[in-house]
């Protein structure tokens, strides 16, 4: 079955914890969370206008997927909570990354395999390519950037570690995060613990 095209624009922004918090705080302060048309040019420091525009576009897309509870924890929580909420935004916004977590990280962790091998990414990508023609049309350089940025995001989220040897490092959310995640329509906790024992049903989000 042909699936909707992947949103692959995470190639223009990695996890960006501090910038996500800053933008979330600004949006809440403006009381216009879903209708903010202008973000101050200096919100993220001294960036080129084109870089600023790309970052704003991606962070707005991520923040649009947050519940009120997740947004509040992102702005007011301790730093580990904030980082984990940024990871939630990644999972909700980019199905390519979410599917990799499901099909490789969780699958490995369930059978006590603690590393990700190169062939596993290759097999994952080849399987995704069958249902996503847009992947077949991309240049070699773009495909390298997709892989590089995805692993950078997962490393920054601390769900994996290492570069030459990629190790799987499950996250065990604290009480504040569990409180927020348990109020979501779907159960996201397995994407942190990397165990389906936590999962009641898989996310029903457009792929």
How much is the pLDDT for 117? 96
Considering the chain, what is the average pLDDT of its residues? 90
The separation between CA 146 and the C-alpha centre of its own chain, rounded to angstroms, equals: 13
Dihedrals phi, psi of 74, to nearest 5 degrees: -60, -40
In this predicted structure, the answer to whether residue 116 has a pLDDT above a threshold of 80 is yes
The number of beta carbons lying within 10 Å of the beta carbon of residue 147 is 15
Type and span of the H or E element at 86: helix 79-93
Judged by average pLDDT, the poorest of 45-49, 97-101, 124-128, 155-159 is: 45-49
Q: Provide the sign of the torsion angle of the four alpha carbons 114, 118, 123, 126, taken in this order.
A: positive
Long-range residue pairs from 98-101, CB within 8 A, at least 24 positions apart, any chain? 98/191, 98/203, 98/205, 99/124, 99/128, 99/207, 100/124, 100/150, 100/154, 101/154, 101/159, 101/191, 101/194
């Amino acid at each position: 079955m042909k699936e909707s095209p992947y949103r692959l624009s995470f190639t223009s922004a990695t996890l960006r914890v501090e910038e996500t918090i800053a933008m979330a705080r600004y949006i809440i302060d403006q009381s216009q969370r879903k209708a903010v048309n202008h973000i101050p040019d200096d919100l993220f420091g001294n960036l080129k206008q084109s870089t600023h525009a790309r970052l704003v576009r991606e962070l707005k897309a991520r923040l649009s997927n947050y519940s009120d509870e997740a947004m509040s924890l992102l702005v007011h929580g301790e730093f580990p909570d904030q980082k984990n909420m940024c990871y939630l935004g990644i999972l909700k916004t980019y199905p390519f990354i979410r599917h990799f977590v499901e099909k490789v990280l969780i699958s490995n962790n369930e059978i006590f395999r603690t590393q990700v091998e190169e062939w596993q990414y290759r097999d994952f990508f080849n399987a995704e390519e069958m249902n996503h023609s847009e992947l077949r049309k991309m240049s070699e350089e773009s495909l390298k950037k997709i892989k590089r940025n995805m692993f950078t995001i997962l490393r920054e989220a601390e769900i994996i570690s290492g570069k030459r040897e990629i190790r799987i490092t499950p996250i065990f959310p604290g009480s504040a995060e569990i409180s927020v995640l348990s109020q979501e329509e779907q159960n996201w906790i397995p994407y942190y613990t990397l165990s389906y024992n936590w999962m009641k049903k898989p996310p029903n989000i457009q792929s």
